[in-house]
Structure 1
Amino acid sequence: MPKIQAATVADHRALQRRALVDAARELLEETGDGAAVTFATVARRTGLARNSVYKYFADRRELLAAVVADAVPRWLEAIGAAMAAADAPEEKVAAYVRAQLDVVRAGGHRVAQALAGDADAAALKGGAADAHRALLAPVEEALAALGEPDPRRAARLLQGVVNAAVTAVEAGDDPDAVTGLAVRAALSGFGPRA
């Protein structure tokens, strides 16, 4: 009988499951390639036998869904916390831009990119749309407070600025310079019209 590494079997199973999700996320962050996440590679990283992974996940798609379910709320929480810590609407918009680029620096965007191109993760696209809406809601409020006449449209366009900044950072551009420019573009491009 194998030894458990926690106070109870349920706690042990939770720890093992957590280790598998973390290993899959790390592979996505490191490689940017969804194909790198196989039960064999995840098992090797956690020290489990490949067939043991099936005790926690029925298939690869279920494992990838667990990675998304774990990562996206943390990204949204980080962005929300940065915005909540800001006082003025301008500061909230700047925090929105900076926090997303911080997520990119931490490797989070590589996870999203890897999953976007993965056939097994195709079923996760509905969750991505929900996450995108949750991401835009607080910045819509900040843009409305700035006097932006169409905050929903402005939020989507602002996200385009962030996406372009992400592309630049991932192509090797200086993250601090890109972040500064993206914040300036965001703050000068939205608000009331004279």
Structure 2
Amino acid sequence: MPKISAPTVVQHRAAQRAAILRAAEALLIEGGVAGVTPRAVGERAGLARSSFYEYFPSKDDLLTAIAIEAFDQWAAEIDEALEEVEPGMPRLKAYIDTTMRMTADGKHELASVLQQADLEPSSFDDIMALHDKLMSPVKAVLAQLGIAELTAYAALVQGLLNAGMQLVAHGVLPATASQQVYDLLTSGLPIPAQPWL
């Protein structure tokens, strides 16, 4: 029986799988999708290349697992941030604030890199289903506000959030981007009064 580095085989396998995931995440951030190969991941994780295939049949499976874990962590943090916030506009503001802060903390970096992956259709569908799940807090807030056509408006809100996240990624302060997104959603463009000519 192979030597294990944990009290049980189950714990050993969980630790090795986690090591592969962390190694692949680091490689993704450093060199993009192209840098994630079974050999590179195995070396970074301190495991034999063959260990990669014991846990992930293909690179697509590994990238999908990374995306699922990232989406789950993102969703859990959003849920925790909104848990004590009263419904309606305060929750919308808290959702935007949390999204911009998490982006500034680098928590969206993996998702940005994973968008470059040319995944198999089934893997892509799995990730898109998770992305749709992340829209549920936006839809819940919009429903609380009495907005009809939730799917369409949630997509529009998400588009504006993505633009705010891009601003943060390019150096805009999270609080500034958050306020701009919130103001645009709630008040529209800040067009100055036009003087009569």
The question of a shared fold, defined as TM-score above 0.5 by the shorter chain, is answered with: yes
Which stretch shows the higher mean deviation, 12-21 or 97-106? Answer: 97-106
> Any conservation in 2 of the 1:57–1:63 contact (CA below 8 Å)?
yes
Give the Cα–Cα distance (whole angstroms) in 1 for the partners of residues 125 and 187 of structure 2: 33
Higher helix share goes to which structure?
1
> Any conservation in 1 of the 2:100–2:177 contact (CA below 8 Å)?
no
Q: Give the fraction of aligned pairs with identical amino acids, expressed as a percent.
A: 34
Match of 1:103 in 2: 102
Match of 1:5 in 2: 5
> Any conservation in 1 of the 2:68–2:130 contact (CA below 8 Å)?
no
> Any conservation in 1 of the 2:33–2:117 contact (CA below 8 Å)?
yes
Which stretch shows the higher mean deviation, 122-131 or 89-98? Answer: 122-131
Residues 1:45 and 2:21 aligned together: no
Unmatched 5+ stretches in structure 1 = 190-194
Shift of 1:163: 0.7
Match of 2:62 in 1: 63
Name the amino acid aligned to 2:10. Answer: A
Name the amino acid aligned to 1:8. Answer: T
Larger Rg: 2
RMSD over aligned Cα, in angstroms?
A: 2.2
* CA gap 1:32/1:140 in 2 versus in 1, 3 angstroms: farther
What does residue range 73-112 of structure 1 map to in structure 2 within 5 Å?
73-112=72-111
Name the amino acid aligned to 1:47. Answer: G
Shift of 1:119: 1.8
Give the Cα–Cα distance (whole angstroms) in 2 for the partners of residues 78 and 117 of structure 1: 24
Name the amino acid aligned to 2:143. Answer: A
Give the Cα–Cα distance (whole angstroms) in 1 for the partners of residues 186 and 130 of structure 2: 24
Residues 1:33 and 2:29 aligned together: no
Give the Cα–Cα distance (whole angstroms) in 2 for the partners of residues 138 and 53 of structure 1: 35
Shift of 1:17: 0.5
Q: Any idea what SS the aligned residue of 2:83 has?
A: helix
* CA gap 1:152/1:54 in 2 versus in 1, 3 angstroms: closer
Match of 1:21 in 2: 21
Q: TM-score, normalised by structure 1?
A: 0.84
Match of 1:117 in 2: 116
Give deviations 1:40-84, integer Å, cap 9, x for gaps. 222222111223222222221121121122111111121222222
> Any conservation in 1 of the 2:97–2:175 contact (CA below 8 Å)?
no
Q: TM-score, normalised by structure 2?
A: 0.83
What does residue range 170-185 of structure 1 map to in structure 2 within 5 Å?
170-185=169-184
